[in-house]
Amino acid sequence: MTTDTTTKSAPTGATPGEPVLDARGVTMRFGGLTAVSDVDLTVNAGEIVGLIGPNGAGKTTFFNCLTGLYVPTEGEVRYKGQILPPKSFKVTAAGIARTFQNIRLFANMTVLENVLVGRHTRTKEGLWSALLRGPGFHKAEAASRARAMELLEFVGLAGKADHLARNLPYGEQRKLEIARALASEPGLLLLDEPTAGMNPQETRAAEELIFAIRDKGIAVLVIEHDMRFIMNLCDRVAVLVQGKKLIEGDAATVQSDERVIAAYLGEPLANDPGAAEAAEVEAAEAAAEAAAQTAPAKENDR
């Protein structure tokens, strides 16, 4: 049962309750547009935190601020007490790994190679050791491969290690992206819509996988639109609307909050000015929603 797992005790490894990620007053402006405005968010060790919000609320932009792809205009992001460096590869080295909303695997590399690329920050061998091929090189390479296979085993792709990433079915590509992110031995994993486009079985499998990751002692911050998924999964949920954090709390609180419902469904009208207008608005919203659903790749991911 997936619902039971939320009540599992805190993971081993990290001290529970200690903040892993601490974002304070993060603001991101693009020219005159404020995409993210003064958002505070804390993720504690051993926690799964959800980040939800309507399309265009600034969730992915906020993610990019956390991973160094964007440097926030204002505010600061601390990882385990250290302010994050402004380069995305340094953020990964510090211990934050991420996946992408529209899958960004190295399509023409094999599954194993993809994970090995993820090991980049945790290995040291440079050009010279690659050219000279001393015993250290072979040892490190073998260790990397062993760890990569272990991770593939963990996500259930060990049998497909030699396949090209592009040939994997959609759900397995998502899993591979997670394995690749885990290969950098993160303390915090950021998942950007990990179940987008998945069927219910695959979603449930993803849920199990995320719990398993949490049980390894890795904190998880997840963006998702699938409410059932979020409510099952997350210890805490933060709602982002128009770049501002609306509310933060456990699943039940957020679910019943009127402002959240309003943000998703619109304000109930006080004196029902006209059914026709309401219907029109609804139709327009549905069309916009549909457009956004059919073209998810257009949303800027950087």
Q: C-alpha distances in angstroms, 99 versus 63, 143, 166, 173?
A: 10, 24, 16, 11
Among 1, 33, 127, 276, binds another protein (CB under 8 A): 127
Nearest Cα residue to 282 out of 266, 294, 293 = 266
Instruction: In whole angstroms, give the CA distance from residue 224 to residue 221.
Output: 10
Q: Does 184 help bind another protein (rule: CB under 8 A)?
A: yes
- Site for another protein contains 149 (CB under 8 A): no
Give the residue, chosen from 7, 9, 108, 201, that forms a contact with another protein under the rule CB under 8 A: 108
Nearest approach, Cβ of residue 76 and another protein (Å): 20
| 167 forms part of the interface with another protein (CB under 8 A) | yes
Q: Does 173 bind another protein (CB under 8 A)?
A: no
Q: Are 216 and 97 in contact (CB under 8 A)?
A: no
Q: List all residues 6 or more positions away from 37 whose beta carbon is below 8 Å from its beta carbon.
A: 27, 243, 244
Contacts to another protein from residues 88-107, by CB under 8 A: 88-89, 92-93, 97-98, 100, 104-107
Q: What is the DSSP letter of 110?
A: B
Residues 67-86 that bind another protein (CB under 8 A): 67, 69
Cα-based torsion angle of the residue sequence 10, 14, 18, 20 in order, rounded to the nearest 10 degrees = -110
Residue range at the interface with another protein (CB under 8 A); choices 50-58, 119-127, 202-210, 212-220: 119-127
Nearest distance in Å: CB 195, another protein: 20
Minimum distance from CB of 166 to another protein (Å)? 7
Q: Which is nearer to another protein, 172 or 226 (CB)?
A: 172
The answer to whether 119 and 108 are in contact (CB under 8 A) is no
- The strands making up 219-223's β-sheet, listed across from edge to edge, are 96-98, 188-192, 219-223, 48-52, 236-241, 244-249
Q: Enter the tokens of residue 95.
A: 């211990």
Q: Rule CB under 8 A: is residue 270 a binding residue for another protein?
A: no
3-state SS class at 185:
coil
Nearest CB to another protein, comparing residues 53 and 95: 95
How many CA atoms are closer than 13 Å to the CA of 227, on its beta-carbon side?
A: 11
CB of 265 to another protein, least distance (A): 34
Residues across the chain? 302
| Options 44, 101, 144, 203; binder of another protein; rule CB under 8 A | 144
User: Shortest approach of another protein to residue 104 CB, angstroms?
Assistant: 4
Binding segment for another protein (CB under 8 A), chosen from 122-130, 203-211, 239-247, 286-294, is 122-130
Q: Which region, judged by CB under 8 A, interacts with another protein, from 32-40, 162-170, 238-246, 253-261?
A: 162-170
In the complex, the smallest distance separating the C-beta of residue 16 from another protein, rounded to whole angstroms, is: 27
CA-to-CA dists, residue 243 to 63, 94, 295, angstroms? 12, 26, 21
Q: Which of 117, 227, 261, 292 binds another protein (CB under 8 A)?
A: 117
Determine the Cα angle at 80 with ends 234 and 99, to 5°.
Answer: 50
Contacting residue, 133, 139, 228, 259, with another protein by CB under 8 A: 133
Task: Quote the CA–CA distance of 217 and 46 in Å, as a whole number.
Answer: 6
Binding-site ranges for another protein (CB under 8 A): 67, 69, 87-89, 92-93, 97-98, 100, 104-110, 113, 116-121, 123, 125-127, 129-131, 133, 137, 140-141, 144, 162-164, 166-167, 180-181, 184, 301-302
